[in-house]
């Protein structure tokens, strides 16, 4: 028996979500008294890092079929390794690609799955229960997975990566060639910023900003905190900010440690995408803005006055810590 | 081209969510249900647009009880040609995917569309599962889809960016914001929807692997602490010492 964690490698590094998934898988392996095996598909120069988070063994298959993503090709590979390693639990990150793999693998292996788990399973005898946030954060559903193989994709920022002493071995494996029916032409990612689903601090702004030319104060605050910037739906729809910055129900759902909402009234559709944030700060000139009800800290004031003051206070704090 | 659009029913975002006293079952009484927005606004409308350009047929498919016919009629009013309801009260994603696969396997649909996720459980699994059952390519989070003959160019959302790819029909695609714009059904559409074919077919038997055991309610949020706009130093102190967020 084993716990297998499929780890995505991003060009030249592992993302934080990869280490979260390994930590999570390693904790499940401890619960089940078995070993944690990490699988990386494609070339990687950092395989050793996975042992730092509790992988006992790291398997790597480097082949051209893994140079671009096709859920079918990757599913065949992961399923084969899962069978060979006698995996009883398969863990993946709940990323764009991870979610496709979760669905495909569960059919291929006839295994129950929970997509977007946010805590460790509760294992008692043969009962295996995993929780995830549902109904826009209004409840947690605890799912029992009954099949011999269980598949879990882990929501980002649900568990902190934990370093342990590294006892891992690294093994290169060869998998059969499979052909893809998808031809990836181009991958465009924004350089230099942490993608929103992985960001620990997010600074987000809405219509209260009055126009795209005023975003300098939002960016200053974000850079003082090392935060990723986001926006509300009307702002993205008006093309004040790029589409990928839109958080909320139809945009990206996030759960950072800290979410600072500037000039966003807090419509329920916006809250649906952000109310799993651990701490929420709302800055709005309207004391009746519904967002204050969902906030931990609120500031009623003119954002053009408040935001630069907050940035100055953060910089001051950082200089003294 | 023949298009299948898989649609689901979800509680409206504004719906009040409640459970039985033992927290074992969701309390659906009084809940306002809607056609899942990703299915309606993006998947369904893009399929209709492609049919309008290229000809063909748009079928919508729902796995659910008779109550769901309201949202199915809405999809027909927006412009789908016909509908299939697979009569079942599904409890897991895999069960839904399996039922749709059983229906679709011999129908030769060119593109099977669905929304990127439902807004209640956000599992995002049915598309991938369906593709696996049908041995088809699956492209998730499509934000743009153009057809050129039998080949589609699709842009999909990935973390912090976009991937552009080509794939030939048949395939399964899940639709995100950007793929189309919401259409409001007009009176003519609503009238025509009443006469369109809505076929009801029985569900196939299926072994359930994943089941909700019970629900937990989140801790009540403590009320908001208001900070003087002239004292941002205090906010920073609280974020550091109390919230431990910085």
Nearest to B117 by CA among A135, A274, A59: A135
Chain A residues whose beta carbon lies within 8 Å of the beta carbon of residue B165 = 182-185
Q: How far apart are CA B25 and CA B21, in angstroms?
A: 9
Q: How far apart are CA B104 and CA A188, in angstroms?
A: 34
Q: Is residue B240 part of a domain?
A: no
Facing A181 at nearest CB: one of B97, B137, B177 = B137
For residue A40, the tally of other CB atoms under 10 A from its CB is: 24
Cα dihedral across residues A22, A24, A27, A28: positive or negative: negative
Q: What is the pLDDT of residue B160?
A: 82
Angle of helix A216-225 relative to helix A303-319, nearest 10 degrees, comes to 20
Residues 6+ apart with CB under 8 A from B38: A250, B114, B115, B116, B117, B118, B119, B174, B175, B176
Facing A244 at nearest CB: one of B127, B129, B161 = B161
Confirm if A139 and A126 have CB atoms less than 8 A apart.
no
Q: How far apart are CA B20 and CA B217, in angstroms?
A: 12
| A198 interfacial to chain B (CB closer than 8 Å) | yes
Q: What is the mean pLDDT of chain B?
A: 96
- Estimate to the nearest angstrom the gap between the alpha carbon of A87 and the chain centroid: 23
Q: How far apart are CA A95 and CA A15, in angstroms?
A: 11
Indicate yes or no: CB of B229 within 8 angstroms of CB of A309.
yes
For residue B242, the tally of other CB atoms under 10 A from its CB is: 12
Distances (CA, A) of A59 to A6, A35, A36, A108: 10, 13, 11, 21
Total residue count of chain B as it appears in this document: 246
Q: Is residue B15 part of a domain?
A: yes
- Estimate to the nearest angstrom the gap between the alpha carbon of B44 and the chain centroid: 10
Chain B residues whose beta carbon lies within 8 Å of the beta carbon of residue A301 = 229
Chain A residues whose beta carbon lies within 8 Å of the beta carbon of residue B225 = 296-298
Q: Is residue B231 part of a domain?
A: no
Q: How many Cβ contacts (< 8 angstroms) between chains A and B?
A: 268
Q: What is the pLDDT of residue B76?
A: 98
Q: What is the pLDDT of residue A159?
A: 94
Q: How far apart are CA B77 and CA B192, in angstroms?
A: 7
Q: What are phi and psi of A246, to 5 degrees?
A: -70, 115
Q: How far apart are CA B11 and CA B54, in angstroms?
A: 34
Q: How far apart are CA B76 and CA B60, in angstroms?
A: 8
Distances (CA, A) of A116 to A59, A96, A126, A147, A155: 24, 11, 22, 18, 5
Q: What is the pLDDT of residue A228?
A: 96
Q: What is the pLDDT of residue A10?
A: 86
Shortest Cα distance, chain B CAs vs residue A190, angstroms:
6
Q: How far apart are CA A133 and CA A117, in angstroms?
A: 7
Indicate the SS3 state at residue B210. Answer: strand
Tell me: pLDDT of A237 over 90. yes
- pLDDT grade for A190, boundaries at 50, 70 and 90: confident
Give residue-wise pLDDT tens across range B96-110: 999 999 999 999 999
In degrees, rounded to 5, the angle at the alpha carbon of residue B209 between the alpha carbons of residues B207 and B214 is 120
- pLDDT grade for B222, boundaries at 50, 70 and 90: confident
pTM (2 d.p.)? 0.94
Q: How far apart are CA A114 and CA A98, in angstroms?
A: 12
Label the pairing between strands B151-158 and B161-168. antiparallel
Give the count of domains, chain B.
1
Indicate yes or no: CB of A100 within 8 angstroms of CB of B167.
no
Q: How far apart are CA A280 and CA A136, in angstroms?
A: 16
Chain B residues whose beta carbon lies within 8 Å of the beta carbon of residue A295 = 224
The residues in A 22-61 lying below 8 A from B, measured between CB atoms, are none
Q: Is residue B204 part of a domain?
A: yes
* H-helix or E-strand spanning residue B168: strand B161-168
Please spell the DSSP secondary structure of B24-50, one letter per residue. -SB--TTPPEEE-HIIIIIIIHHHHHH
DSSP state of A312: H
Chain B residues whose beta carbon lies within 8 Å of the beta carbon of residue A321 = 240
- Which ipTM value was assigned to this complex? 0.95
Give residue-wise pLDDT tens across range A116-144: 999 999 999 999 999 999 998 899 999 99
Q: How far apart are CA A76 and CA B167, in angstroms?
A: 19
Confirm if B103 and B62 have CB atoms less than 8 A apart.
no
- pLDDT grade for A265, boundaries at 50, 70 and 90: very high
For residue A304 the two structure tokens come to 């053009």
Q: Is residue B246 part of a domain?
A: no
Tell me: pLDDT of B220 over 90. no
Count the alpha carbons within 13 Å of A74 in the hemisphere toward its beta carbon: 27
CATH code where residue B62 lies: 3.40.50.620
Give residue-wise pLDDT tens across range A44-84: 999 999 999 999 999 999 999 999 999 999 999 999 999 99
Indicate yes or no: CB of A135 within 8 angstroms of CB of B238.
no
- pLDDT grade for A238, boundaries at 50, 70 and 90: very high
Q: What is the pLDDT of residue A89?
A: 98
Label the pairing between strands B111-115 and B161-168. unpaired
Q: What is the mean pLDDT of chain A?
A: 96
Q: Which domain holds residue B177?
A: 2-215
For residue A107 the two structure tokens come to 């059919």
Indicate yes or no: CB of A114 within 8 angstroms of CB of B216.
no
Confirm if B96 and B121 have CB atoms less than 8 A apart.
no
Chain B residues whose beta carbon lies within 8 Å of the beta carbon of residue A250 = 37-38, 41, 177
Indicate the SS3 state at residue A35. Answer: strand
Q: What is the pLDDT of residue B178?
A: 93
Facing B224 at nearest CB: one of A129, A147, A298 = A298
Mean pLDDT for the stretch of residues A170-179: 97
Confirm if A281 and A301 have CB atoms less than 8 A apart.
no
The C-alpha torsion from A201 through A202 and A203 to A206, rounded to 10°, is: -160
Chain A residues whose beta carbon lies within 8 Å of the beta carbon of residue B167 = 181-183
Q: How far apart are CA B146 and CA A62, in angstroms?
A: 33
Give residue-wise pLDDT tens across range B60-85: 999 999 999 999 999 999 999 999 99
Mean pLDDT for the stretch of residues A290-309: 97
Q: Is residue B190 part of a domain?
A: yes
Nearest to B120 by CA among B13, B236, B243, B242: B13
Q: What is the pLDDT of residue B173?
A: 98
Give residue-wise pLDDT tens across range A40-52: 999 999 999 999 9
Tell me: pLDDT of A191 over 80. no
Q: What is the pLDDT of residue B148?
A: 96
Shortest Cα distance, chain B CAs vs residue A135, angstroms:
4
Indicate yes or no: CB of A182 within 8 angstroms of CB of B243.
no
Q: What is the pLDDT of residue A189?
A: 85
Share of chain B above pLDDT 90, in %: 94
Tell me: pLDDT of B221 over 80. no
Indicate yes or no: CB of B13 within 8 angstroms of CB of A197.
no
Q: What is the pLDDT of residue B219?
A: 81
Q: Is residue B146 part of a domain?
A: yes
Task: Report H helices in A85-187.
Answer: 96-108
Distances (CA, A) of A24 to A5, A48, A54, B211: 9, 17, 9, 22
Q: How far apart are CA A270 and CA B175, in angstroms?
A: 19
Q: Is residue B22 part of a domain?
A: yes
């Amino acid at each position: 028996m084993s716990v297998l964690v499929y780890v995505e490698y991003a060009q030249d590094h592992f993302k934080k979500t990869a280490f979260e998934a390994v930590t999570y898988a390693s904790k499940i392996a401890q619960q089940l008294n078995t070993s944690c095996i990490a699988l990386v598909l494609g070339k990687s120069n950092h395989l050793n890092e996975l042992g730092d988070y509790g992988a006992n063994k790291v398997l790597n298959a480097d082949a051209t079929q893994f140079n671009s993503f096709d859920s079918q090709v990757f599913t065949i590979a992961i399923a084969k390794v899962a069978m060979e390693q006698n995996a009883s639990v398969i863990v993946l990150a709940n990323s764009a690609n991870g979610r496709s793999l979760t669905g495909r693998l569960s059919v291929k292996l006839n295994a129950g799955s929970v997509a977007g788990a946010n805590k460790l399973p509760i294992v008692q005898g043969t009962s295996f229960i995993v929780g995830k946030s549902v109904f826009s954060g209004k409840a947690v559903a605890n799912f029992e997975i009954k099949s011999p193989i269980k598949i879990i994709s882990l929501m980002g920022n649900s568990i902190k990566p934990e370093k342990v002493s590294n006892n891992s071995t690294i093994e290169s494996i060869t998998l059969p060639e499979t052909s893809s029916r998808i031809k990836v032409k181009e991958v465009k990612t924004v350089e230099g910023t942490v993608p929103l689903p992985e960001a620990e601090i997010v600074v987000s702004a809405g219509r209260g900003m009055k126009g795209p030319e005023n975003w300098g104060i939002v960016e200053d605050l974000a850079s003082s905190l090392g935060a990723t910037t986001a926006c509300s739906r009307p702002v993205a729809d008006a093309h004040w900010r790029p589409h990928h910055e839109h958080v909320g129900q139809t945009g990206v759902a996030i759960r950072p440690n800290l979410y600072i909402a500037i000039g966003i009234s807090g419509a329920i559709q916006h809250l649906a995408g952000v109310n799993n944030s651990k701490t929420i700060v709302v800055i709005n000139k309207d004391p009746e803005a519904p967002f204050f009800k969902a906030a931990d800290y609120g500031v009623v004031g003119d954002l053009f006055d408040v935001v630069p003051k907050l940035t100055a206070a953060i910089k001051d704090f950082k200089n003294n810590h | 081209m023949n298009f299948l659009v898989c649609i689901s029913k979800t509680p409206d975002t504004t719906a009040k969510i409640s459970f039985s006293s033992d927290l074992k079952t969701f309390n659906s009484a009084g809940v306002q249900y809607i056609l899942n927005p990703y299915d309606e606004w993006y998947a369904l409308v893009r399929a209709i647009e492609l049919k309008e350009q290229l000809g063909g047929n748009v079928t919508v498919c729902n796995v659910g009880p008779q109550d769901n016919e309201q949202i199915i009629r809405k999809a027909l009013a927006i412009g789908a040609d016909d509908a299939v309801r697979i009569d079942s009260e599904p409890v897991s994603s895999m069960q839904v995917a399996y039922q749709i696969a059983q229906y679709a396997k011999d129908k030769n649909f060119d593109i099977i569309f669905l929304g990127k996720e439902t807004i209640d459980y956000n599992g995002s699994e049915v598309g991938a599962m369906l593709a696996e059952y049908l041995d088809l390519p699956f492209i998730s989070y499509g934000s743009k889809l153009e057809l050129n003959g039998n080949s589609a160019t699709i842009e999909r959302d990935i973390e912090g960016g976009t991937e552009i790819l080509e794939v030939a029909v048949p395939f399964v695609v899940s639709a995100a914001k950007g793929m189309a714009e919401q259409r409001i059904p007009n009176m003519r559409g609503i009238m025509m929807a009443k006469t369109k074919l809505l076929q009801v077919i029985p569900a196939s038997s299926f072994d359930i692997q994943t089941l909700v055991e019970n629900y937990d309610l989140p801790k009540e949020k403590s009320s908001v602490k208001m900070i003087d706009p002239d004292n941002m130093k205090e906010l920073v102190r609280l974020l550091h010492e109390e919230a431990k967020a910085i």
